[in-house]
Amino acid sequence: MIIMIKILGIDDFSEIYNKRLVNDFPESEVKSLKKIIDMYKKDMYFVYGYYNENGELSGYAFFINDRTKDTVLLDYFAIVPEKRSSGIGSEFLGKIKEKIADSGNRLILEVENPEYAEDGPAKDYMIKRIGFYKKNDMNLSGVSCNFYDNEYRILYAGEFMDDEEVYNRTHSVYLDFMGEELDSRCVFH
């Protein structure tokens, strides 16, 4: 099976946002499409689609660039439901990590922090997501934050980064994306 990554323009990623992303992520985590488009136009946001040989979407990844363009935050990452648990997620993430590293950037991402969840299916899913990323050679840092009332842990790809560097890179990406609003919306701990 031939799979390819395509960088997507506004029309394509807007369709994915409206048909998939808003259903694949909790409402409290979904940024407005207007904000994403505004940041895309400023070269601070980009989106990859992962397509099979028939041109069918297998997965997608939305990213935020920081102002220096040396850190990229994986904002949303999902495989379409009918393709999950087939290895495509690991394959896509591996290709993303290669592309980001080849461009000279560091990849970071946030995952829901299970330490703040009640026992049950939601917490189990959070633990499973962290396990997926760790299995795919993402490093779990000691940095966590409350961002828009959601608790996150920060992971990163590549060579070791101490927590101060992870914090600085994450804060830089958030600050560029949110501007002055960041201080009232994000608390690192």
pLDDT (tens digit, 9 = 90+) per residue, 70-111?
999 999 999 999 999 899 999 999 999 999 999 999 999 999
Reported as type and span, the H/E element at residue 166 is helix 163-178
Q: Crossing angle for the helix pair 121-135 and 88-102, nearest 10 degrees? A: 50
CA 141, 64, 34, 80 torsion-angle sign = negative
pLDDT for 186 equals: 83
CA 182 to chain centre: 18
pLDDT (tens digit, 9 = 90+) per residue, 160-181?
999 999 999 999 999 888 887 7
CA 37, 66, 154, 107 torsion-angle sign = positive
Name the average pLDDT for the chain: 93
Strand, coil or helix: 91: helix
Q: How far apart are CA 122 and CA 112, in angstroms?
A: 10
State the amino acid at position 154 in one-letter form: I
Residue 2: pLDDT over 70? no
Q: How far apart are CA 83 and CA 87, in angstroms?
A: 8
Q: How far apart are CA 90 and CA 68, in angstroms?
A: 28
pLDDT for 28 equals: 87
Q: How many residues does the chain have?
A: 189
At residue 59 the predicted structure's pLDDT band, cuts being 50, 70 and 90, is: very high
From the list 142, 146, 148, the residue with the least C-alpha distance to 181 is 148
pLDDT (tens digit, 9 = 90+) per residue, 11-37?
999 999 999 999 999 898 899 999 999
From the list 106, 112, 152, the residue with the least C-alpha distance to 129 is 112
Overall average pLDDT of the 111-135 stretch: 93
Q: How far apart are CA 88 and CA 52, in angstroms?
A: 10
Token pair listed for 153:
């842990």
